[in-house]
């Protein structure tokens, strides 16, 4: 009986999917884009379907939807931006739900791939937020939005040599990049971890079935942990978006 060698597949193999339709075109559909489309349709169906025949006293399914809305409205919009900013709740709510649904594909059996672990999706979402907070900043504060960041008050004159470049890089590059990379890296790490444990289970099952219980139990535990991570990352992405929007609306004191 040969034990064989445990080989972990190259990273590309875990994240690159073959085109399903429109092969070779720029609009080719693969597993990632298919999951994104399914998620958007699913969210739309749940909320449009759930908001028909609304009752004053919510019951059952309507209750769940209202709790979701209130979670974003109270926990994120009102807490971070302010009580007068409920006009941002629809945007923040859709952002939260979209990321949440994409993240949860990671733990759905037989699908088990989070589309947010491909850089295009977090990057696009982060760029959307980037454009939004620059636009809001200039709309509400004018050029003071930029100068307030670059030349914060109360700093000794000589220190501006140090502070201004750091702040410039911060609002131009670090903010959107860290927003996108945070989501990407968390989901990517989770996917790699789950794959490694599943492969290890399959490998030990073939060679030493008793030891396989270890990675298998660990796999289940990590799956539960990934549900938490998926929720937390969606929450943090939305929370940071709200912080950046609040920063654009009101000048720092």
Partner 1 sequence: MHDLVIAAQQAGELKAGLQSIGAGIVYGAAAIGPGIGIGIVVGNAITAMARQPEMAGPVRTTMFLGIAFTEALALFGFVLFFLAKS
Exactly one of 21, 51, 79, 140 binds partner 1 (CB under 8 A); that residue is: 79
Q: Which is nearer to partner 1, 39 or 113 (CB)?
A: 113
Strand partners, 29: 21
Residue 216 has a CB neighbour count (10 Å cut-off) of 17
Encode 58-80: b = buried (16+ Cβ within 10 Å), e = exposed. Answer: eeeebeebeebbeebbeebbbeb
Residues near partner 1 (CB under 8 A), total: 19
Tell me the window of 36-44, 131-139, 186-194, 207-215 that interacts with partner 1 (CB under 8 A): 186-194
Does position 80 interact with partner 1 (CB under 8 A)? The reply is: yes
Collapsing DSSP to helix, strand or coil, 21 comes out as strand
Binding mask 194-233 for partner 1 (x = CB under 8 A): --------------------------------------x-
Does position 240 interact with partner 1 (CB under 8 A)? The reply is: yes
Exactly one of 14, 132, 211, 239 binds partner 1 (CB under 8 A); that residue is: 239
Give the Cα-Cα-Cα angle 112, 176, 76 (nearest 5 degrees).
75
The residues in 159-178 that bind partner 1, with binding defined as CB under 8 A, are 174, 178
How far apart CA 190 and CA 230 sit, in angstroms, is 9
Collapsing DSSP to helix, strand or coil, 9 comes out as coil
Tell me the window of 27-35, 73-81, 124-132, 201-209 that interacts with partner 1 (CB under 8 A): 73-81
The phi, psi pair for 46, rounded to 5°, reads -60, -45
How far apart CA 214 and CA 190 sit, in angstroms, is 18
Exactly one of 186, 195, 204, 248 binds partner 1 (CB under 8 A); that residue is: 186
How far apart CA 185 and CA 189 sit, in angstroms, is 6
Tell me the window of 1-9, 47-55, 182-190, 201-209 that interacts with partner 1 (CB under 8 A): 182-190
158 membership: H or E segment, kind and range:
none
Site residues (CB under 8 A) for partner 1? 11, 75, 79-80, 174, 178, 181-182, 184-186, 188-189, 232, 235-236, 239-240, 243
């Amino acid at each position: 009986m040969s034990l064989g060698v445990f080989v972990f597949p190259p990273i590309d193999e875990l994240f690159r999917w073959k085109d399903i339709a429109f092969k070779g075109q720029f609009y080719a559909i693969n597993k990632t884009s298919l999951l994104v489309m399914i998620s958007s349709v699913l969210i739309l169906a749940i909320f449009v379907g759930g908001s028909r025949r609304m009752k004053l006293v919510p019951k059952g399914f309507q209750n769940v939807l209202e709790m979701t809305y209130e979670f974003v409205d109270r926990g994120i919009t009102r807490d971070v931006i302010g009580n007068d900013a409920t006009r941002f709740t629809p945007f923040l709510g859709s952002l939260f739900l979209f990321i949440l649904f994409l993240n949860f594909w990671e733990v759905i059996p037989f699908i088990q791939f989070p589309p947010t672990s491909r850089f295009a999706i977090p990057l696009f979402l982060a760029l959307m937020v980037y454009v939004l907070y620059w636009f809001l900043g200039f709309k509400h504060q004018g050029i003071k939005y930029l100068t307030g960041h670059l030349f914060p008050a109360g700093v000794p004159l000589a220190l501006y040599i140090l502070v201004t470049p750091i702040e410039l890089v911060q609002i131009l590059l670090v903010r959107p990049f860290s927003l996108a990379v945070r989501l990407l890296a968390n989901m990517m790490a989770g996917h790699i971890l789950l794959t490694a444990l599943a492969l290890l289970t399959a490998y030990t099952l073939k060679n030493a079935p008793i030891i396989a219980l270890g990675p298998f139990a660990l796999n289940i535990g990590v799956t539960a942990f990934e549900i938490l991570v998926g929720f937390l990352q969606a929450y943090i992405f939305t929370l940071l978006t709200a912080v950046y929007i609040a920063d654009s609306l009101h000048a720092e004191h």
